[in-house]
Amino acid sequence: MYSSLLAAIIDAEASHRSLSQLALDTEAKDQGRPVAEIRDALRRALVVMRGAIEQGLVGDLYSESGLVGGDAAKVALSTKGPFTGSPFADVIARALAVQEVNAAMGVIVAAPTAGGAGVLPAVLTGLAKARGISEDEIVSALATAGLIGAVVAERASLSGAEGGCQAETGAAAGMAAGAAVEMLGGTPTQVGHAVALAQQGTLGLVCDPLGGLVELPCVFRNATGAAIALAAVEMALAGVTFAIPVDEVIDVMGEIGREMDVRYRETAGGGLAATPTGRRLARERLVQIKRSGG
Amino acid sequence: MVSLLDIIGPVMVGPSSSHTAGACRIGLLARGLVGGTPERARMELHGSFARTGEGHGTDKAIAGGLMGFRPDDDRIRDALNIAEREGLAYVFEKTTLSETAHPNTVRITLERGDRSHVMTGESLGAGRIHITEVDGFPVEVHGNHHTIVLVAEDVKGSVAGIAQLLADASINIATLRLTRKEKGGDAFMVIEVDDRPDEPVRDAIRALPWVRWSHRLDKVSG
């Protein structure tokens, strides 16, 4: 797979292919598998993603610690928000839904990780519904997302323990923004700007889960990560460009991650996890998990 | 090489690709060492596995793996209760294995019938794993190939013998590593292969006079 998104964009435009087609052709060559088989695997992933969204929107799921749950349904059913009934509200509800299912030990697709699994399915399926996009086109968009994630894995990191939340929900926002721009008719160059615009909005984001659990703030970070992705999609499709090339934005994300104090890298030693309330809640909830037989 | 399907995947039971999916895969590989669900299993959890494992279902995921559940099997949620019904007696302990051990490490001691083995595994993130030790022998197994592990007397030609046997069965070797604790001592062989060796191949390897024991660890990812 590519380790430079700019190189991929140049190759795609030179060969008059979409980034998804380039990603699928490259994966087929790398892994010695036919494109159809890779598309089938992505289609199966999409089915699981949709299942998690559906399950989470019901609203009766809670994590074992009880720290998170039920909020996806609140957003989905609300009539109070300024975006009620809009694709924006729908995407937010979907992102919460997947991450609530994850926290409750339901079945999800790590994309790129379990902790950031809500952003990509929420953005793609939410926008596809709003714009009448076919399942096949969503599957193609997943390939584009995979290409973007592979570049981030090569150049920076996809692990909160290594790079903070910017490497999990931040990377997911970049993947979702780029994939959605292609799905909605953007050019490969616009995909690159969308990734840069999303990723710049999450630079420096720390990984600070209470008690080290993938629950709080992870569930909400997936919703805000999706919102950043949507902002990037809106800008990129309007022709907004980002002056720092996308590869350099990804590189600096990696650099910030390496410089980040270990307290902010999934250790529950800093950030929200280390606030007085964060510490108290973590203590209480871990005791509860133990009592319930863990 | 990073694959698209590593990024969009794995399909897994939450909440953590390292603490849940990776832990399950370590359990699956350990199961291969005793050729089925163990009767007894002792898990020594180290580092982050010890500190936050309960909240991530690391215990359920390992127990599920030991019973043959894959990372996307939703029975993992109930694995500890199922283990009691299936006759898997398990115990989890929190410990510090060493100052240099990976933060997500578990050492598993297993018994099934007359077989008993110890395996140490690390969960590297995004569901990727690394088995570092089997029965005191340093190894490198990642679970993305079918793997044959065996202990052999240190005789000349042992590697050639195994290679020939696999070639005759049309099984392609991806990697082969040999380690010894001391010169002239038993040799530990880890052979990663592209195709799953079937029962006749396994039996042929076991029939070699200088092979003390041999097990097949089926691939758990990729």
Give the CB-side neighbour count of residue B179, counting CA atoms within 13 A: 13
- Tell me if A257 is assigned to some domain: yes
In sequence order, what are the beta bridge partners of B125?
B128
Greatest mean pLDDT range, A122-136, A269-283, B12-26, B166-180? A122-136
* A80, A110, B91 from B154: Cα distances, Å: 75, 44, 35
- Tell me if A188 is assigned to some domain: yes
pLDDT band of B65, cuts 50, 70, 90: very high
Note whether A1 contacts B12, CB cutoff 8 Å: no
Main-chain dihedrals φ then ψ at residue B11, nearest 5 degrees: -75, 125
Pair B149, B193: CB distance under 8 Å: no
- Distance, CA of A269 to chain centre: 24
The pLDDT value given to residue A294: 43
Tell me the chain B residues in contact with residue A147 when contact means C-beta distances shorter than 8 Å: 4
- Tell me if A154 is assigned to some domain: no
- The predicted complex's ipTM stands at 0.94
Q: Which domains does chain B have, with CATH numbers?
A: 4-135 (3.30.1330.90), 146-217 (3.30.70.260)
CA torsion angle A22 A23 A26 A32 (round to 10): -130
The pLDDT value given to residue A73: 97
Segment 257-276 of chain A within 8 Å of chain B by CB: 267-268
Which has the closest alpha carbon to A177: A158, A200, A156, A198?
A: A198
More confident residue, B128 or A259: A259
Tell me the chain A residues in contact with residue B126 when contact means C-beta distances shorter than 8 Å: 110, 112-113, 158-159
- Tell me if A156 is assigned to some domain: no
Segment 115-174 of chain B within 8 Å of chain A by CB: 125-127
Pair A39, A25: CB distance under 8 Å: no
Distance from CA of A82 to the nearest CA of B (A): 31
- Distance, CA of A90 to chain centre: 16
Segment 86-145 of chain A within 8 Å of chain B by CB: 101-115, 117, 120, 142-143, 145
Tell me the chain A residues in contact with residue B6 when contact means C-beta distances shorter than 8 Å: 150, 153
Q: What percent of chain B has pLDDT over 90?
A: 61
Which has the closest alpha carbon to A258: A167, A152, A149, A148?
A: A167
CATH number at residue A235: 1.10.4100
Find the CB nearest A214 among B15, B51, B127.
B15
- Give the CA radius of gyration of chain B: 17
A163 CB within 8 Å of a chain B CB: no
The pLDDT value given to residue A138: 98
B58 CB within 8 Å of a chain A CB: no
* A109, A110, B208 from B8: Cα distances, Å: 7, 6, 43
**H or E element: which one contains A16?**
none
Average pLDDT in chain B = 91
Distance from CA of B66 to the nearest CA of A (A): 18
Sign for the CA dihedral angle at A28, B216, B78, B51 comes to negative
* A64, A77, A165, B204 from A225: Cα distances, Å: 24, 21, 10, 55
User: How many Å apart are CA A47 and CA A200, to the nearest integer?
Assistant: 30
Note whether B7 contacts A146, CB cutoff 8 Å: yes
Average pLDDT over residues B148-174: 90
- Tell me if A24 is assigned to some domain: yes
More confident residue, A181 or B199: A181
Note whether B21 contacts A114, CB cutoff 8 Å: yes
- Tell me if A155 is assigned to some domain: no
Tell me the chain B residues in contact with residue A159 when contact means C-beta distances shorter than 8 Å: 18, 125-126
How many CB pairs below 8 A link A and B?
153
- Distance, CA of A267 to chain centre: 21
Tell me the chain B residues in contact with residue A5 when contact means C-beta distances shorter than 8 Å: none
Average pLDDT over residues B106-130: 92
- For chain A, the residue count is 294
User: How many Å apart are CA A56 and CA A102, to the nearest integer?
Assistant: 9
A1 CB within 8 Å of a chain B CB: yes
The pLDDT value given to residue A288: 67
In tens digits, what is the pLDDT along chain A, a chain of 294 residues? Answer: 999 999 999 999 999 999 999 999 999 999 889 999 999 999 999 999 999 999 999 988 898 788 999 999 999 999 999 999 999 999 999 999 999 999 999 999 999 999 999 999 999 999 999 999 999 999 999 999 999 999 999 999 988 888 999 999 999 999 999 999 999 999 999 999 999 999 999 999 999 999 888 999 999 999 999 999 999 999 999 999 999 999 999 999 999 999 999 899 888 889 999 999 999 999 887 766 666 544
Sign for the CA dihedral angle at B14, B18, B23, B25 comes to positive
Pair B105, B47: CB distance under 8 Å: yes
Find the CB nearest A294 among B5, B59, B126.
B59
User: How many Å apart are CA A195 and CA A180, to the nearest integer?
Assistant: 10
Find the CB nearest B17 among A103, A113, A153.
A113
Mutual angle of helices B23-34 and B48-56, in 10-degree steps = 100
Find the CB nearest A110 among B4, B12, B48.
B12
Q: What percent of chain B has pLDDT over 70?
A: 99
Reported as a single tens digit per residue, the pLDDT across B41-63 is 999 999 889 888 878 899 999 99
Q: Best residue in A98, A101, A214, A279 to probe B by mutation, most B CBs within 10 Å? A: A214
Tell me the chain B residues in contact with residue A161 when contact means C-beta distances shorter than 8 Å: 18, 48, 103, 125
The pLDDT value given to residue B39: 98
Residue A90's domain spans which residues?
A: 5-149+161-291
User: How many Å apart are CA B60 and CA B51, to the nearest integer?
Assistant: 15
Alpha helices in chain B (DSSP H): 4-7, 23-34, 48-56, 58-66, 79-86, 158-168, 199-207
Number of domains in chain A: 1
DSSP letter at B103?
Answer: S
- For chain B, the residue count is 222
Tell me the chain B residues in contact with residue A142 when contact means C-beta distances shorter than 8 Å: 8
Pair A88, A212: CB distance under 8 Å: no
- Tell me if A195 is assigned to some domain: yes
pTM of the model: 0.90
